[in-house]
Structure 1
Amino acid sequence: RVICGLCKPYMGAVSLFGKKQKAYKNGSLFREMLAFLPQEPVTMFVKESVREDLLQSGDKVAVENVSQRMGIEHLLDRHPWDLSGGEIQKCAFAKILLADPKIIILDECTKGMDSFAKKALGDILLDIKDEGRTILLVTHDLEFAAQYCDRCGLLFDGKIVAEDNAVEFFSHNRFYTTAAARLTRGFFSGVVTSTAVRERLAMVKRGQNEQ
């Protein structure tokens, strides 16, 4: 909320691309620069259908393209409040992408999602990152952060008390870490996701077979 200008910092200042936040006047911060997805993405929708809302952010062709990309064509004529958590999340991402932001801030974006919805969301985030966009994710979902984030930081009492790439961050943190890291501590190093556990066990099995 501070980065978006919705709250004032108690101390310090925010700069984006070498320019102080307060220098972005008349909403220019949110024009092709910054997008914010709140914990409750349904609050981003005010029309009777997803299509009507998206058309506020882009023309018909742009809406069709982003809908195909996000796989929400079948949801366009639905009322936003009738959608599931995963569905409304995808629609909210579509609305954000129509604004073509360089930086996307997500607040607890996996809230209420099952594992399948999280996987779909993670794939979308990786796709968006590959386009050269920056994603800042605020979350308590450690497993999701370990799987999809490049770098992780821990905030405590208003300060960043730990920061590193995801593997190093969760490997060296004993309390705020993943189930995989806890289970494999003392056996494997640098293993913080279930995928990494399977890969490491497969390597061990191959080594035993070769012997």
Structure 2
Amino acid sequence: MTITHSSVAGTSGAPAVELRSLVKTFPPRRGSHDTEVRAVDGVDLRIEPGEVVAFLGPNGAGKTTTLDMVLGLTEPTSGSAAVFGRRPREAVVAGSVSAVLQTGGLLRDLTVRETVRMIASTYAVSTPVDEVIDRAGLGSLANRRVSKCSGGEQQRLRFALALLPDPRLLILDEPTAGMDVTARRAFWDTMHADASAGRTVVFATHYLEEADAFADRIVLIAGGRIVADGTTAEIRSRASGRTVAATLPAGSVESSVERLRAVAGVRSVEERGTRVVVTAADSDAVARLLMLDLDGTDLEIVTAGLEQAFMTLTGDDRTAATPDLESELAR
């Protein structure tokens, strides 16, 4: 199917999203002696049109609160948020931004097509109903009642509704929750086709492999701050560098280990018989030393996995123990 995104193509030259010194605080819960909750703590971020950006972070990191400010659902305590050079609410009203959230908004007694048609009627101009149904992979379910749709199918319906104003920016909160593997793959194929046409996609997910496979860029948030921002490879490298392993000649291991430890950026050197495993920021320098000066063989260079990088940059204990901030505030 040919992609025709009139509003997507008409970009203004401004960043899709620009956050400057963004801060959001909440008062302590009633009856609590705690101080205010600082959900977002000075976030600076610029996202260009056409990027596919994943927001990652442990529960309570500030991901959802940040996206809420991008959508104009809540106002910053200080700092600023702009979407295509406008205030977020202005961009939403203009149809430049849509969101796919995890909950809410579906009438169970309507069919899929009736739901899309009803929401389409609220826009002055919208993408044709059958087109968004097709793009969301709901063609065979168009006459099914919402109450008979699975959780993943309902999430695809929310996606169809988000496409109606032909937005230049899509904000997705756990967009593939409840989808099976085939539906998830089809969903991301659609997202990348849209991004190629100029649409910007920003999504929060807890599927590390999803961010690894589908995002052009990862923004990692912890404690209300951005702790890493880059490609998957850059995030991995920043977290733990690369591991370089090689086998050394018998009798030379001890002296070789001393030389390896003296290389700038080397974090650890582990001996496994005549094989050494080196963790370093500059894997090229270590590899050159091992092969050219230390007569190493069987060289192997491995980049840390995204899960390891995630735990290193956010803190493993915090990832396991931090409560979901939004859930706590809603109580």
Q: Per-residue displacement from partner, 1:137-194 (whole Å, max 9, x unpaired)?
A: 11121110010001101111111111011232234435xxxxxxxxxx984445869x
Q: Which residue of the other structure, out of 56, 68, 73, is the alignment partner of 2:118?
A: 56
Tell me, yes or no, if the aligned pair for 2:127 and 2:165 is still in contact at 8 Å.
Answer: no
User: Deviation of residue 124 (structure 1)?
Assistant: 1.9
Q: Is residue 2:127 matched to residue 1:127?
A: no
Aligned partner of 1:162 among 206, 220, 228: 228
3-state SS, counterpart of residue 56 of structure 1: helix
Match of 2:70 in 1: 3
CA distance in 1, matches of 2:217, 2:192: 13
Q: TM-score, normalised by structure 2?
A: 0.48
Q: C-alpha displacement at 1:109, in angstroms?
A: 1.5
Say whether 1:29 aligns with 2:96: no
Q: Residue 14 of structure 1 aligns with which residue?
A: 81
Contact 2:127-2:166 at 8 Å conserved across structures: no
The answer for the alignment partner of 1:138 in structure 2 is: 204
Give the partner amino acid of 2:100. L
Q: Aligned to 2:105, which of 27, 37, 44? A: 44
Letter in 2 for 1:44: G
Deviating beyond 4 angstroms after TM superposition, the runs of 4 or more aligned structure 1 residues are: 185-193
Provide TM-score, normalisation by structure 1: 0.73
Shift of 1:108: 1.3
Task: Report how many residues are paired.
Answer: 177
- The 2-side partners of 1:56 and 1:74 are apart by 19
Q: Which amino acid aligns with 2:150?
A: S
Given residue 38 of structure 1, which amino acid in structure 2 is its aligned partner?
L
Larger Rg, first or second structure (1 or 2): 2
3-state SS of the aligned residue for 1:8?
coil
Structure (1/2) with the larger strand percentage: 2
Do the aligned partners of 1:167 and 1:192 also contact (CA within 8 Å) in 2? no
The answer on whether the counterparts of 1:146 and 1:192 sit within 8 Å (CA) in structure 2 is no
Larger helix share, 1 or 2: 1
Confirm or deny: 8 A CA contact 2:155 2:177 kept in the other structure. Answer: no
Instruction: For 2:82, give the aligned amino acid.
Output: S
Deviation digits for residues 8-61 of structure 1 (CA, Å, limit 9, x no counterpart): 223211111222336x2xxx6243211011123xx2322611111111243798
Query: Whose RCO is larger (CA < 8 A, sep 6+)?
Result: 2
Unpaired runs of at least 5, structure 1? 175-184, 194-211
Corresponding residue for residue 181 of structure 1: none
